[in-house]
Amino acid sequence: MTNYLALNTAGDSCSVALSINGAYHQREDRSGQRQSRALPALVAQVLSDGGIRAAALDGVVCCIGPGAFASVRVGVAFAKGFALALDRPVAGVSSLALLAQHVAATHGAATVLSVLDARMGQVYTGLYATAPRIALHEGAVEGVCIPDNVPLASGTLQAPLIGCGNGWQRYREALLQRCPAPPDAVLADTAPQAVDAFALVCGAGVDGTAFTSAARLAPVYLRNHVALTLAERGKPKPTPA
């Protein structure tokens, strides 16, 4: 029997999922409250839904970003502490790959351009091929840039190509110019979900090497510059009292 818990706090919402021999349960909080408050309750609820205790888990999967900096840290810290207390392994997954997995599973996409709003006029992007399983497209990397500089793909792209993620809501026109081919669909309201993590680390064709010790789990930010200064926002410096 294999039981896994998955956590995602990288976006505006917070989701927790449980896999029991491939049967899934998920809980999500979209109230806007801090993930640090929502996460423990969601974990308790999803374990109750599955009828198991935490001690019955075989591992923990956590979305490690990119995403909102504080939120990503909350999820990673919770996953590390939870797994250490249970002496269970952990696996980290990308929020951009979570998007690609969801679109591949629900819409049959062969190629996915995942784009998340990174604020500060930038986006997080990743171009994925979905077969035989989710992987970055040939020559592609996950990165952060302004929408006009989203990297163009090399190599042959398989159709259908679908764009997804909230970055498409704000920067649709710029992204269409950078898209390697006209997308068959754009799903701008798609958000990363914890339940999609299972296919990435313990699904068919996955060898299980994604799991490691909890101490090695770390967030992925893709950039170090996390906020605009007053000068960058065009605001005057405060006058000393």
pLDDT greater at residue 207 or residue 80: 80
Q: 122-133 pLDDT, tens per residue?
A: 999 999 999 999
CB–CB of 147/167 below 8 Å?
yes
- 106 and 160 in a single domain? The answer is yes
Q: Is residue 237 part of a domain?
A: no
Residues 182, 188, 189, CA angle at the centre, nearest 5°? Answer: 155
- 7 and 90 in a single domain? The answer is yes
Label the pairing between strands 59-63 and 3-8: parallel
Closest CA to 75 of 92, 54, 98: 92
Q: Is residue 231 part of a domain?
A: no
- 11 and 47 in a single domain? The answer is yes
Give the CATH number for residue 102. Answer: 3.30.420.40
Q: Is residue 226 part of a domain?
A: no
Q: What confidence score (pLDDT) does residue 109 get?
A: 97
- 42 and 100 in a single domain? The answer is no
- 59 and 99 in a single domain? The answer is no
Q: What confidence score (pLDDT) does residue 226 get?
A: 46
CB-based burial label for 204 (10 Å; 0-12, 13-18, 19+): exposed
Q: 179-227 pLDDT, tens per residue?
A: 888 999 999 999 999 999 999 998 655 666 789 999 999 999 887 544 4
Q: What confidence score (pLDDT) does residue 35 get?
A: 77
Q: Is residue 66 part of a domain?
A: yes
Q: How confident is the model at residue 134 (pLDDT cuts 50, 70, 90)?
A: very high
Q: What confidence score (pLDDT) does residue 153 get?
A: 84
Q: What confidence score (pLDDT) does residue 181 get?
A: 86
CB–CB of 169/116 below 8 Å?
no
- 25 and 84 in a single domain? The answer is yes
Number of independent structural domains in the chain: 2
- 48 and 116 in a single domain? The answer is no
- 9 and 65 in a single domain? The answer is yes
| Residues comprising the chain, all counted | 241
Statement: residue 158 has pLDDT above 90: yes
Statement: residue 241 has pLDDT above 60: no
Q: What confidence score (pLDDT) does residue 205 get?
A: 58
- 30 and 55 in a single domain? The answer is yes
Instruction: Mean pLDDT check: name the lowest of 92-106, 144-158, 217-231.
Output: 217-231
Q: Is residue 230 part of a domain?
A: no
Q: Which amino acid is at 91?
A: A
Q: Is residue 145 part of a domain?
A: yes
- 144 and 178 in a single domain? The answer is yes
Share of the chain above pLDDT 90, in %: 73
- 87 and 157 in a single domain? The answer is no
What distance in Å separates the CA atoms of residue 29 and residue 127, rounded to the nearest whole number?
A: 28
What distance in Å separates the CA atoms of residue 42 and residue 26, rounded to the nearest whole number?
A: 9
Q: Is residue 148 part of a domain?
A: yes
Range of the domain at 144: 95-187
- 70 and 99 in a single domain? The answer is no
Q: Is residue 229 part of a domain?
A: no
